[in-house]
Each structure stands twice: as C-alpha cells, then as structure tokens.
A = this chain, B = another copy of it.
Amino acid sequence: MKEYRAEVHVWLKPSVFDPQGNAVEKAVAGLGHTGIRGMRVGKSMEFTVEADSKEAASKMVETVCDRVLCNPVMETYRYVLTARDGE
C-alpha cells in the first residue's frame, strides 16, 4: 500500500450564480482593490489516500468526488494527487 495526498477543488458550474463570490468581489472592490474580477468561491478538500498504485488512488478520489464531495447538478471538481514518498 502506498500513500497519496489528494487535493480536491469543488466549484459551482460556471452557469450557476455564486452569491458568495459576488459578495466577496464587491467587498474587495469596496476596499479599493481594483483590478480583481470574476471572484468565485469554492470548497477544497485535502486528504490522504491509501492505495496500491496511483491509478487506483485516482480512481478512489474520483469515486469519492462523484459520490460525496461534489453534486454534479451544480458543481464540478478537479484534483491533484501526489505520492507521499515519491513514486
């Protein structure tokens, strides 16, 4: 068994309005930070995966994303997987 570190980022689909991002962008602009646009707020998850291979680990991450971490009705995700002790 090897250990991998997964970092998953879940975002609202581009077509779905993101009230948080909208409010934060307004606040940031209100503070005088011009030049910051298109703010979207999402979720990140970081965890350790135990698997036999990077492929197996990827598969686990994807399954967990599809089933638990992300609701495909309005969200999408991407992830990065790195071997803990170098593969």
- Give chain A's interface residues, CB within 8 Å of chain B: 1, 7, 9-11, 21, 24-25, 27-28, 31, 33-51, 60, 63-64, 67-69
Contact = CB atoms under 8 A, between A and B. Distances in A.
A51 to B, nearest CB: 6
B21 A45 contact: yes
> How many copies make up the complex?
2
9 contacts: A9-B44, A24-B68, A28-B64, A35-B51, A35-B60, A37-B47, A39-B46, A40-B45, A42-B43
A36 to B, nearest CB: 6
A63 to B, nearest CB: 7
A40 B47 contact: yes
A46 B7 CA distance: 15
Interchain residue pairs A-B with the least CB separation, the first 7 = A35-B50, A42-B44, A39-B47, A38-B48, A44-B44, A40-B46, A37-B48
